[in-house]
Chain A
Amino acid sequence: MPEDLNWAIGGEAGDGIDSTGKIFAQALSRAGRHVFTSKDFASRIRGGYTAYKVRTSVDRVDSVVDRLDVLVALTQRTIDENTEELHDESVIIYDGERSWDAEIPEEVVGLDVPLKSLAEDAGGAIMQNVVALGAACAVADFDIEYLDSSLEKRFGSKGSKLVENNQQAARMGRDYVYENYDHDYPYSLETTDEDYVLLNGDEAIGMGAIAAGCKFYAGYPITPATAVMEYLMGRIDRFGGTVIQAEDELAAINMTLGAARTGARAMTATSGPGIDLMTETFGLVATSETPMVIVDVMRSGPSTGMPTKQEQGDLNMLLYGGHGEIPRFVVAPTTVAECFHKTVEAFNLAEKYQTPVYLVGDLAMAVTEQTFSPEEFDMDAVENDRGKIVPEEEIEEWLDDEGHFRAHANTEDGISPRALPGTANGAHMSTGLEHDELGRRTEDTEVRVEQVDKRNRKVETAREREDWSAREFGNPDSGNLVVSWGSNEGAIREAMAEFDIDARFISVPYIFPRPDLTEAVEAAEETVVIECNATGQFADLIEHDTLTRVKRINKYNGVQFAADELAEEISAVFDGVEPEVTA
């Protein structure tokens, strides 16, 4: 398993844990090392335990593991929360001068570094975390110049003095360890010439939206989707767009719908509770056949649930939510990089089929920062397909005998022409009422059936025309089949590779329409579906599709799967042992 170093910093919310972790992750990325980060945070602004974990290797890393090598502990709770992940070569960096008496587990090395007073010497107590980063560089035998570069990126805009002070603080931390402790730790971080980018799922979704030509975003802040809005704010305007912080989720989706009706590529993002509020308008979006992308970054539910914890519990709502029957697409990226590609694809699907698209992420993927080759975000490969927009010179073809534009023309593929406002002779009304080809209200039984069939036919057309394939890993001939969706892919791949699990692994990025797994399930002796929810919503779909019982590994304690934990559970299933559901 590629785990040269598992590092973490933990303390109370408000201690700057997040930015300190990010600085270290960026330094590693700049050193040509792969990084996978995870966050443990409480739903409060100040106080409450918070940790930022960084796993780094020269090889690609795709998941978290239950192991910590170097821990920067700003509070006793940081140590207590992570005791089980510590081992006999773990090192804890702490500040013994602070008001707590650190209780360091017996088998672990504790390095008492006066973080605060060294920071004060360097120019301010606020830099104590950076002193700790310097100390960590000494322990991990990591060239501090990469940290310099990362500090420059973080503080450069605030002036060179601040950058220099921080760089000095880091050196004081490093030198303190060199001078006061034998440094024969078993860690040494090799560097490479690779240039990686470091980003999380929310950022990848935002970048994908801009790449797809999205110019309008309206949203309401909610964990863990807010970072999409924060990313777009200040960036989308460079491309002629705007971000609106609406008064609530109802306003957000309605503003997005209004913008989409003008022909703009428009998007909103929220989390489960926000999807609840948007669901009424979602029906209008679909019935008025308006292209729109709605992002749901899932968190633990129901109701307010655990807002800062992982879960994949919204699937049924996205598939079935709303009164009446609503054609829709549900697309679920499986990695941070796929968040970018699937966002671009979501816009194309929405416009080609004039149907709303749910793009489903989850908290683990949204906040995970991961390194990639920049080629994985190849802007030259982006293709935007706008579907059937009717230019002014072709509008005549779509007018009825009385000159009315047939906005819901009953075509063979179910897709009607679109006249964008401003197009001469294209004026028409759009409504959530059942309507005829012109968009006018009707209760005519035949027209009702015709329009319902027409809208549903778009899905059939899309099934034929689009590639709804899944991502495959492992041994294609194995009798053991693992199926998953969303962000579990990385942990499953690592578990299989590192623990030599013989299985075929199908990671499904499309929930509706979805690839037909009947053949794969029938060919397998044993199938297990892995997901972060209690009831196995995706496993239910697979059983429904394939008429075959599948086994399930479910986790719903709020924490994403770890590779080593999964390895045990998958092996147990294939060895005929029923897995214990983790609660």
Chain B
Amino acid sequence: MSSETQAHFTDFKSDKQPTWCPGCGDFGTMNGMMKALANTGNDPDNTFLVAGIGCSGKIGTYMHSYALHGVHGRALPLGTGVKLANPELEVMVAGGDGDGYSIGAGHFVHAVRRNVDMTYVVMDNRIYGLTKGQASPTSREDFETSTSPEGTKQSPVHPLALAFSAGATFIGQTFSSDALGHAAVIEEAIEHDGFALVNTYSPCVTFNDVDTYDYFRDAIVDLEEEGHDPTDYEAAREKIMDFDTVYTGVLYQDESSVGYEKRLGLSESMADVPEGAPDGADDLVREFY
């Protein structure tokens, strides 16, 4: 991909056919990610996609870019290492609600507070799909699954609130079948300087008959139509802490955010290695006299 020609979103598509179930929300989630990458001037050679485990984790196979498919729950540390070692790369991390908010919940909190410049798209379907239908950390308390026959009897994780309390600088939420709205929020997330969470409702048509397309279509409140100002901290907090409403759009953005890599003074790729010890290495020995 030469830098003179603007990439088309199909350049980010691989020739592998997805094995997601017909009707899966992940198709729309992925399309929006590819569109947003192309629209923000990226191409597959400067893009690094990190994926976790689960249905969402398959995305690395269906997209085309430099990519790393990690072990369960560790996608965010991988993305952190990629971005710090080469800040010139556009880093996008994709995962599911299990990957990000259960096994990876610890990393999530620290990625948020570290504020490395990357975009984290969580395909939230409130169920474990690839293991065939168990409760996820975002499942409703009364949701009956093979591992929660009488409901989970646990309060769900509220990802936006968790991110907000950890000091997030960008919090967005989208619905995968709202193609334009979804891509637009990811574009803003890419352009945000710092860690951007985009929680994307990506329905599982096979195992979740509660959090369906119809449910989300009826429940969603579009923040843009509401005239919400994401830079207004108090207004953002009010929306984020309202667990009874499903908002889409950018809920919160701290426009003064500066990515962690910049605060560390990193701007160049660390890939260059001299043929011998670097200049000045002799001083390291001298220190021990």
Q: Which residue of A lies closest to B273 (CB)?
A: A213
Whether a CB of chain A sits under 8 angstroms from the CB of B268 is yes
Q: Contact check, B276 vs A380: say whether CB atoms are below 8 A apart.
A: yes
Give the residues in chain B near A210, CB-CB below 8 Å: 277-278, 281, 284
CB distance from B239 to the nearest CB of A (A): 28
Q: How far is the CA of A397 from the CA of B154 in the complex (A)?
A: 56
Q: Contact check, A259 vs B107: say whether CB atoms are below 8 A apart.
A: no
Give the residues in chain B near A302, CB-CB below 8 Å: none
Give the residues in chain B near A388, CB-CB below 8 Å: none
Q: Residue B270 contacts which of A212, A215, A280, A380 (CB distance < 8 angstroms)?
A: A215
Q: Most chain-A CB neighbours within 10 Å: which of B50, B67, B81? A: B81
Known contacts A384-B274, A420-B271, A250 near B61 by CB under 8 Å: no
Q: Which residue of B lies closest to A386 (CB)?
A: B273
Give the residues in chain B near A427, CB-CB below 8 Å: 44-45, 47, 64-67
Whether a CB of chain A sits under 8 angstroms from the CB of B126 is no
Known contacts A247-B106, A384-B274, A428 near B68 by CB under 8 Å: no
Whether a CB of chain B sits under 8 angstroms from the CB of A540 is no
Q: How far is the CA of A60 from the CA of B89 in the complex (A)?
A: 50
* 0/1 string, A412-439, CB within 8 A of B gives 1: 0000000011111111111111000000
Whether a CB of chain A sits under 8 angstroms from the CB of B147 is no
Whether a CB of chain B sits under 8 angstroms from the CB of A195 is yes
Whether a CB of chain B sits under 8 angstroms from the CB of A576 is no
Q: How far is the CA of A205 from the CA of B288 in the complex (A)?
A: 14
Give the residues in chain B near A197, CB-CB below 8 Å: 285, 288-289
Q: Contact check, A384 vs B273: say whether CB atoms are below 8 A apart.
A: yes
Q: Contact check, A258 vs B77: say whether CB atoms are below 8 A apart.
A: yes
Give the residues in chain B near A260, CB-CB below 8 Å: 81, 85
Whether a CB of chain A sits under 8 angstroms from the CB of B131 is no
Q: Which residue of A lies closest to B83 (CB)?
A: A258
Whether a CB of chain A sits under 8 angstroms from the CB of B74 is yes
Give the residues in chain B near A429, CB-CB below 8 Å: 49, 60-61, 66-69
Give the residues in chain B near A441, CB-CB below 8 Å: 61
Give the residues in chain A near B84, CB-CB below 8 Å: 216, 242, 244, 255, 259
Q: How far is the CA of A261 from the CA of B79 in the complex (A)?
A: 10
Whether a CB of chain A sits under 8 angstroms from the CB of B280 is yes
Give the residues in chain B near A195, CB-CB below 8 Å: 289
Q: Most chain-B CB neighbours within 10 Å: which of A246, A254, A259, A424? A: A254
Q: Which residue of B lies closest to A374 (CB)?
A: B285
Whether a CB of chain B sits under 8 angstroms from the CB of A266 is yes
CB distance from B119 to the nearest CB of A (A): 15
Give the residues in chain B near A374, CB-CB below 8 Å: 285-286, 288-289
Whether a CB of chain A sits under 8 angstroms from the CB of B269 is yes
Q: Which residue of B lies closest to A244 (CB)?
A: B84
Whether a CB of chain A sits under 8 angstroms from the CB of B213 is no
Q: How far is the CA of A518 from the CA of B71 in the complex (A)?
A: 40
Interface size of B as a range: 35 or more
Q: Contact check, A382 vs B280: say whether CB atoms are below 8 A apart.
A: no
> A residues 236-294 with Cβ under 8 Å of B?
237-242, 244, 246-248, 250-252, 254-266, 280-281, 283-284, 288
Q: Residue B107 contacts which of A29, A251, A431 (CB distance < 8 angstroms)?
A: A251
Whether a CB of chain B sits under 8 angstroms from the CB of A317 is no
Give the residues in chain B near A218, CB-CB below 8 Å: 77, 81
Whether a CB of chain B sits under 8 angstroms from the CB of A211 is yes
Q: Contact check, B67 vs A216: say whether CB atoms are below 8 A apart.
A: no
Q: Contact check, A379 vs B285: say whether CB atoms are below 8 A apart.
A: yes
Whether a CB of chain A sits under 8 angstroms from the CB of B223 is no
Q: Residue A266 contacts which of B45, B81, B288 (CB distance < 8 angstroms)?
A: B81
Q: How far is the CA of A430 from the CA of B66 in the complex (A)?
A: 8
Known contacts A247-B106, A422-B269, A263 near B86 by CB under 8 Å: yes
Known contacts A210-B278, A242-B84, A264-B271, A377 near B285 by CB under 8 Å: yes
Whether a CB of chain A sits under 8 angstroms from the CB of B218 is no
Give the residues in chain B near A250, CB-CB below 8 Å: 74, 77, 107
CB distance from A170 to the nearest CB of B (A): 20
Whether a CB of chain B sits under 8 angstroms from the CB of A179 is no
Q: Which residue of A lies closest to B15 (CB)?
A: A402
Q: How far is the CA of A383 from the CA of B278 in the complex (A)?
A: 11
Q: How far is the CA of A380 from the CA of B285 in the complex (A)?
A: 12
Q: Which residue of B lies closest to A371 (CB)?
A: B288
Give the residues in chain A near B269, CB-CB below 8 Å: 262-264, 422
Q: Contact check, B275 vs A262: say whether CB atoms are below 8 A apart.
A: no
Give the residues in chain A near B89, CB-CB below 8 Å: 262, 421-422
Whether a CB of chain A sits under 8 angstroms from the CB of B6 is no
Give the residues in chain A near B60, CB-CB below 8 Å: 429, 431
> B residues 31-83 with Cβ under 8 Å of A?
44-50, 60-61, 64-71, 74, 77-83
Whether a CB of chain B sits under 8 angstroms from the CB of A87 is no
Whether a CB of chain A sits under 8 angstroms from the CB of B265 is yes
Q: Residue B106 contacts which of A213, A248, A252 (CB distance < 8 angstroms)?
A: A248
Q: How far is the CA of A380 from the CA of B279 in the complex (A)?
A: 10
> A residues 202-241 with Cβ under 8 Å of B?
203, 207, 210-213, 215-216, 218, 235, 237-241
Known contacts A30-B289, A266-B81, A238 near B270 by CB under 8 Å: no
Q: Which residue of A lies closest to B88 (CB)?
A: A422
CB distance from A407 to the nearest CB of B (A): 10
Whether a CB of chain B sits under 8 angstroms from the CB of A508 is no
Q: Contact check, B74 vs A423: say whether CB atoms are below 8 A apart.
A: no
Give the residues in chain B near A255, CB-CB below 8 Å: 77-78, 80-81, 84
> A residues 171-207 with Cβ under 8 Å of B?
195-199, 203, 207
Q: How far is the CA of A218 from the CA of B70 in the complex (A)?
A: 17
Q: Contact check, B276 vs A384: say whether CB atoms are below 8 A apart.
A: yes
Whether a CB of chain A sits under 8 angstroms from the CB of B226 is no
Q: Which residue of A lies closest to B86 (CB)?
A: A262
Q: Residue A258 contacts which of B78, B274, B280 (CB distance < 8 angstroms)?
A: B78
Whether a CB of chain A sits under 8 angstroms from the CB of B158 is no
Q: Contact check, A284 vs B70: say whether CB atoms are below 8 A apart.
A: yes
Give the residues in chain A near B2, CB-CB below 8 Å: 424
> B residues 160-193 with Cβ under 8 Å of A?
none
Q: Most chain-B CB neighbours within 10 Å: which of A255, A256, A402? A: A255
Q: Residue B280 contacts which of A239, A241, A254, A281 (CB distance < 8 angstroms)?
A: A239
Give the residues in chain B near A203, CB-CB below 8 Å: 288
Q: Contact check, B70 vs A254: say whether CB atoms are below 8 A apart.
A: yes
Whether a CB of chain B sits under 8 angstroms from the CB of A440 is yes
Whether a CB of chain A sits under 8 angstroms from the CB of B1 is yes
Q: Contact check, B85 vs A264: say whether CB atoms are below 8 A apart.
A: yes
Q: How far is the CA of A265 from the CA of B273 in the complex (A)?
A: 8
Known contacts A210-B281, A264-B271, A258 near B265 by CB under 8 Å: no
Give the residues in chain B near A246, CB-CB below 8 Å: 77, 110
Give the residues in chain A near B284, CB-CB below 8 Å: 207, 210-211, 235, 379
Known contacts A215-B270, A424-B45, A427-B44, A258 near B80 by CB under 8 Å: yes
Whether a CB of chain A sits under 8 angstroms from the CB of B266 is yes
Give the residues in chain B near A30, CB-CB below 8 Å: 289
Q: Contact check, A263 vs B80: say whether CB atoms are below 8 A apart.
A: no
Q: Residue A254 contacts which of B49, B77, B274 (CB distance < 8 angstroms)?
A: B77
Q: How far is the CA of A213 from the CA of B273 in the complex (A)?
A: 5
Q: Which residue of B lies closest to A199 (CB)?
A: B288
CB distance from B70 to the nearest CB of A (A): 7
Considering the complex of A and B, which 7 residue pairs feature the smallest CB-CB distances, nearest first? A258-B81, A263-B271, A213-B273, A259-B85, A254-B77, A255-B81, A264-B270
Starting from the known contacts A259-B81, A259-B84, A261-B81, 7 additional A-B residue pairs (CB-CB under 8 Å) come to A203-B288, A211-B278, A258-B79, A261-B66, A421-B82, A427-B65, A429-B61
Taking Cβ atoms with an 8 Å cutoff, the residues of B that contact A are 1-2, 15-16, 44-50, 60-61, 64-71, 74, 77-86, 88-89, 106-107, 110, 264-266, 268-278, 280-282, 284-286, 288-289
14 interchain pairs, CB-CB under 8 A = A207-B284, A216-B84, A244-B84, A258-B79, A258-B83, A259-B82, A259-B85, A261-B82, A263-B86, A266-B85, A422-B269, A429-B61, A431-B60, A431-B61
